[in-house]
Structure 1
């Protein structure tokens, strides 16, 4: 039995007069309703004089004011709780620096990376690694680099990888990272979603830097804003970009094995359910949260919720799979409790989800027969802009791409829907 009743909601607006985008959400690892939120303006050179640099930790049982204010020296684009120590958070800054906080020590960062050895562009991903010390993390930026850090010594990174898929290690050839994925059960592997629509798979333990670029997947017409491995079957992963969400198998590099139909509104983020292998979530520029269950309904979301009138930009599901947080362009964070039907494992769901994936990798999905003419008409300008070189316009391209996307009309129905 499936219920589609309206979930209960809790909202927390950006306390500042000049609103910033809620760019990243991170749940407290102990399962309570505490949420760390990074706030920044991603509009290039739009950080006006009175715009706050503050980010916040919210206790959404009491959303009248933040529980703690974090005060970085540059606005945070990404922010992550340390899964081993809930007092510690790592943040990636707009100016490329990495900072970390110990909430027992107050609102200022304990340490910040030096500008000289930091990223040159905003840090769109900062993720903790599984290590004995619990002090190691890595970061990715549109400057085309992945950097590894030990927060006990942030003076310089412990390791560097240039995202040059020609494997020459040249920064001028590097693709800009816009999303970052790491699955703890696969500790030597990670994935990067790029501005250019390419997904890069990497192996940190390869012998030489060129060999660390393991492979690529192509299928999006613009930046890959979200990248998420299925927690039940990590060889399957979800990407979100342009007008579609796509499901891929590591075994099929030629094409995604399933994808949603083209939406009229640009997609901005996405993630898998933590409790149901066939369910995933996406957010859109029109302020809508879509919940998909590809075993129940293939052509449309199982549930579509209008969260706000401005674009949604960030999304994070709590580990229990029953509470989802959404962050908007104007800085409002909304929490929704999901109906039990969408966060309770269904009978035979694991077996059926595996079968769907197997059919896709065997070439039985209609995705493999997609005509070349199925690209949306408005994708071409995005592709040209993506390939127009790396110089300082990188950040303005991303902001411009999202601004332009609001007026784009996707070619709904031209691509096969999410089905096998």
Structure 2
């Protein structure tokens, strides 16, 4: 079929030395017009002035051992020491603090921001970046009755710019479903973490011009099966504070810990927990349901002193103290996951009478928890007892968000269903807000609020019509008062009485 065969060679003459034919052509263009104009320049002049030469002076310290000085000191020293000792024990100047700046007594709105294309959606979450200069807002619908068909967006505004365009965000990232929650990275000022209605967790880098997605969970076997309620950056225990993992909670009851793989652009599941109905008080359990049924998680807050301790709120109204080291009852057989999911609940607090919308651990006391929900109450708990220490009923409808101030240990803010921002100061009054502010121009529900950790006088709110307001707090609400931490500790001690 095949055989060897020799063929005669074939030659091709080289043509590279042949002379190429070229020709020149001209075309007509318009004459270039130029103009010269004079401009005014700054004239400078140098002038010499006479100064005195510096003279180094020699100082001699003389020793005075005179008997007169010794007699004088012996006479006055006992009285001076007595007076100094009295001053050290005096409380005459307790609470006195010198303020060299002009005092600002008012709380005022300094920015009203919106994205016109999202005016039909709610502001679902707000977050300040690590420098305190950029505010991010997520848009979505918090009242879904069916599948999500909305187009949403993530928007950012840099408020340190000389001119802020209130209706034109600096960055807009469009999404195919509602964006339910966001959180800026604690150290990287351009990284934003978000969770969607479809159960996806995404990290964006807004410093990029295109393809801002750094990593994502996608929609896979390990991803959430229900909308993501909250996302949070948590320190990796093995990195000594230099590296962060990601925590996400959802209506499917899962509390998942993700590790970022930037090289492959993915978030890999590292660990996880699950909230089970067995953690509810017996009076709230449904007899027909098994104890290993999952229960939706609505919010989460981590301890500032111990990253392994956190508190979660649930759709049932339950509040639970948890530990990432505790491995309780495993998930039921109907839950599939690549990691072992177990209950992290170590203690159950007295539940709200309806879903819990917000929970926040105090940055100044390891045991104090602030919560709010649909039962129209805001509560302060100690994690050492089940009953709340303080219960506040503003009479303003559902309370969608409640946050401790990052600078005033006794101050917290509450966002209400009737469009108000309520500011409380436990030093002044526990039951009545010191400021009641209209936080929605159209009296829509205020769904979210966020203090600025780095610019202490700023607080932002977002309402149901897509409008964001940035507030400048008064000096008394943004400057820590003497012995305020001690007063907060006294509030916490009410739990033991």
Q: Which bracket does the TM-score occupy, shorter chain normalised?
A: 0.7 to 0.9
User: 1 CA distance for matches of 2:382 and 2:319?
Assistant: 12
Residue number among 316, 320, 325 corresponding to 2:450 in the alignment: 316
Structure 2 residue aligned with 1:112:
216
1:185: how far off?
2.3
Instruction: Give the counterpart of 2:156 among 38, 50, 57.
Output: 57
Higher relative contact order (CA 8 A, sep 6+): 1
Distance 2:408 2:176 in 1: 40
> Displacement, 1:316?
0.3
Q: Which runs of structure 2 are paired with 1:234-249 in the superposition (5 Å)?
A: 234-241=366-373, 242-249=375-382
Deviations 1:21-55 (A, max 9, x none): 111111011122x1111111122147786x43221
Report what 1:159 is aligned to: 271
Distance 1:6 1:72, change over 3 A: same
Equivalences for residues 249-264 of structure 1 within 5 A:
249-253=382-386, 255-261=387-393, 263-264=395-396
Alpha-carbon distance between aligned partners in 2 of 1:154 and 1:225, rounded to the nearest angstrom: 29
Deviations 1:73-105 (A, max 9, x none): 432111111112122211111111111112233
Distance 2:421 2:141 in 1: 22
Residue in structure 1 matched with residue 91 of structure 2 by the alignment = none
Partner of 1:296 in structure 2? 428
Structure 2 residue runs of 5 or longer lacking an equivalent are 1-95, 97-102, 281-289, 331-341
Matches within 5 A, 1:343-362: 343-358=478-493, 360-362=494-496
1:37 aligns with 2:137: yes
Q: After TM superposition, give the deviation of residue 230 of structure 1 in Å.
A: 1.0
The count of corresponding residues between Structure 1 and Structure 2 is: 358
Distance 1:310 1:341 in 2: 28
**8 Å Cα contact 1:92/1:99 also seen in 2:** yes
Q: Distance in 1 between matches of 2:407 and 2:118?
A: 38
1:70–1:107 contact (8 Å) kept in structure 2: no
Q: TM-score if structure 2 supplies the norm length?
A: 0.68
Q: Is the 8 A contact 2:396 2:417 kept in 1?
A: no
Match of 2:233 among 114, 123, 128: 128
2:197 corresponds to 1:94: yes
Query: Could you tell me how far apart the structure 2 residues matched to 1:302 and 1:95 are?
Result: 40
CA RMSD of aligned residues (A): 2.4
Matches within 5 A, 1:6-405: 6-16=107-117, 18-32=119-133, 34-45=134-145, 51-60=150-159, 61=161, 62=164, 63-105=166-208, 106=210, 108-116=212-220, 117-131=222-236, 132=239, 134-152=243-261, 154=266, 156-166=268-278, 173-207=293-327, 210=342, 212-241=344-373, 242-253=375-386, 255-261=387-393, 263-308=395-440, 309-319=443-453, 320-358=455-493, 360-363=494-497
- Shift of residue 348, structure 1, vs aligned partner: 2.2
List, as ranges, runs of 4+ consecutive aligned residues in structure 1 with deviation greater than 6 Å.
Answer: none
TM-score (normalizing by structure 1)? 0.79
Cα distance 1:18–1:288, how it changes in 2: closer, same or farther (>3 A)? closer
**Equivalent position of 1:373 in the other structure:** none
Q: Decide whether the 8 Å contact of 1:68 with 1:107 is kept in 2.
A: no
Question: What displacement does 1:14 show?
Answer: 2.7
Change (3 A) 1:15 1:270: same
Equivalent residue, structure 2, for 1:383 = none
Is the contact between residue 274 and residue 343 of structure 2 (CA under 8 Å) also seen in structure 1?
Answer: no
